[in-house]
């Protein structure tokens, strides 16, 4: 396992340090249909484009072909973007919230270019009926902080990743205080509906510190992964199963 000191971390040396603020868990699933619709309708275009573009930076020159497993896929926006970026790929999205899967399937019916290469499975890890097939990549965006037991994500990744499977997990990390969490909400979500502002604040308080994530992946035996802070609120875990 490698802990990467990014340009962001060098410029902001206090971010990611162990703090006294305890993690406050939030509900694991977005089961309220209104909540799911608000999330699906939010403008994540720039942020989600950056996630796909950054994959290319962490895995330069890679052109994914084959199956991509998207854990905690929500309504599928990241999965559809990966399918569009890698036309030789098929994306299998997994989410435990029926409302999210329903929205993903609605979009699939409208996506002529990529819809046939994206499919969804409703189920919570570790019990979801994930096909035991070869995966070129396993990806996840904003799932980790929802999990009361973070080990289930890393154990699922370890189970389904084979030799050469690329692993790419993006998530929030916990700020140093509730006041800092509120500042981040005001800066990045001021124009969003109240339900999304509330969820963003709760998600920041439920997120893990980088050091906690390092311990989690070590416990799962995923020594080939690196952890890097990439903004004032996001970290990325990337690499392949050793």
Host domain of residue 185 = 2-240
Cα dihedral 25, 26, 27, 29 sign: negative
- The CATH number of whichever domain residue 23 belongs to comes to 3.40.50.150
What is the per-residue pLDDT across 123-179, written as a single tens digit (0 to 9) for each? 999 999 999 999 999 999 999 999 999 999 999 999 999 999 999 999 999 999 999
Chain CA centroid to CA 38, Å? 18
What is the per-residue pLDDT across 183-207, written as a single tens digit (0 to 9) for each? 999 999 898 888 889 999 999 999 9
Give 22's DSSP letter: P
What is the per-residue pLDDT across 82-108, written as a single tens digit (0 to 9) for each? 999 999 999 999 999 998 999 999 999
- Structural domains counted in the chain: 1
* DSSP reduced 3-state for 228: strand
């Amino acid at each position: 396992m490698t802990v990467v000191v990014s340009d962001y971390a060098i410029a902001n040396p206090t971010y990611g340090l162990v703090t006294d603020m305890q993690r406050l868990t939030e509900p694991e699933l977005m089961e309220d249909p209104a909540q799911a619709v608000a999330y699906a309708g939010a403008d994540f275009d720039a942020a989600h484009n950056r996630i796909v573009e950054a994959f290319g930076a962490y895995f330069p020159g890679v052109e994914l072909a084959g199956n991509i497993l998207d854990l905690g896929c929500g309504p599928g926006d990241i999965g559809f973007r990966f399918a569009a970026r890698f036309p030789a790929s098929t994306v299998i999205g997994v989410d435990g919230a029926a409302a999210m899967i329903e929205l993903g399937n609605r979009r699939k019916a409208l996506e002529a270019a990529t819809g046939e290469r994206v499919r969804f499975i409703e189920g919570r890890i570790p019990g979801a009926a994930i096909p035991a097939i070869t995966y070129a990549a396993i990806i996840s965006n904003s799932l980790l902080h929802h999990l009361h037991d973070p080990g289930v994500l890393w154990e699922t990744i370890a189970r389904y990743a084979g030799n050469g499977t690329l692993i790419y997990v993006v998530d929030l990390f916990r700020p140093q205080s509730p006041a800092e969490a509120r500042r981040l909400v005001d800066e990045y979500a001021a124009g969003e509906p109240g339900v999304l502002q509330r969820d963003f604040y709760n998600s920041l308080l439920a997120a893990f510190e980088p050091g906690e994530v390092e311990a989690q992946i070590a416990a799962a035996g995923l020594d080939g992964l690196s952890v890097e802070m990439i903004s004032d609120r996001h970290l990325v875990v990337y690499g392949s199963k050793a």
